[in-house]
Structure 1
Amino acid sequence: MPSGVRWGTPPTAEDLAELAETAFAAIPEPLREAVRGAAILVEEIPDDETLAEMGLEHPWELTGLYRGVPLTDKSALDAPALPDTILLYREPILVEWVESGEDLFRLVRNVLIHEIAHHFGYSEEGIARLEGEG
């Protein structure tokens, strides 16, 4: 689904998953390879447990989340764990899309890349520094 698509109805979770797949395919191969095995899922909103864990009061405050062990903390000696997961939250993304006027594909791509950065061990502060350099 190319950027600039006009939506007659709110995009579904499947629409956002398709945008995320397209964005993921455009990431340079070495980065894609390093994220291989991580699941990319679209959910409607973060659950109450996630909101409490993140110190957030409203589900629309969180557009994405990385769940797993960052590559910087992994060891070959570790016992197998659950697969790393990148969650994209549909409703908060759509709220930001409407409020910002940002192209939906670019917004989904930015959330995906932000969460992939967490997979590589970047903190929120580190990501903010990188985004400020661009």
Structure 2
Amino acid sequence: MGVVPVEMSRERFEELVGQALDDVPVELLNLMDNVVILVEDAPPDGEEELLGLYEGHALTERGWDYAGVLPDRITIYRRPTLNVCDTEADVIEEVAITVVHEIAHHFGIDDHRLHELGWG
């Protein structure tokens, strides 16, 4: 018998992403530059277990020629997140961790360093 994913509307999931962003220190949010945060139901094909994705140019990689580019994108994926959670409390925690992970990538912090810092 498989695990039944948490049932949650997209609207509620988007609220949780918003709450996670509200918990990010304002000083950090103010440093974010040219980035949008999106919610999608499913990740790209072949990436079914992906909870979040950062796409763009990390702040640490931007040089003098960084101009006229589309915003970086942080995408949080609803279905995979619900699939790994047993309760709404689990979803709240997982969304918060995923948001922090993807924001960290915007600042040029890789997964290895995040693990060293205790972010799973």
Q: What is the TM-score of this pair, normalised by structure 2?
A: 0.83
CA RMSD of aligned residues (A): 2.2
Match of 2:98 among 111, 127, 130: 111
Identity of aligned residues (%): 36
- Name the structure with the higher helix share: 1
- 2:60 aligned partner, one-letter code: T
1:77 aligns with 2:74: no
1-side partners of 2:56 and 2:12: how far apart? 25
Match of 2:36 among 39, 52, 61: 39
Q: Gapped runs of 5+ residues in structure 2? A: 1-5
Match of 2:85 among 79, 90, 97: 97
Q: Gapped runs of 5+ residues in structure 1? A: 1-8
Match of 1:130 among 101, 111, 117: 117
Q: What is the TM-score of this pair, normalised by structure 1?
A: 0.75
- CA-CA distance at 1:103 after TM superposition: 2.5
Alignment length (residue pairs) = 115
1:66-106 C-alpha deviation (Å, 9 max, x unpaired): 111101001243232110111111111001112x8853211
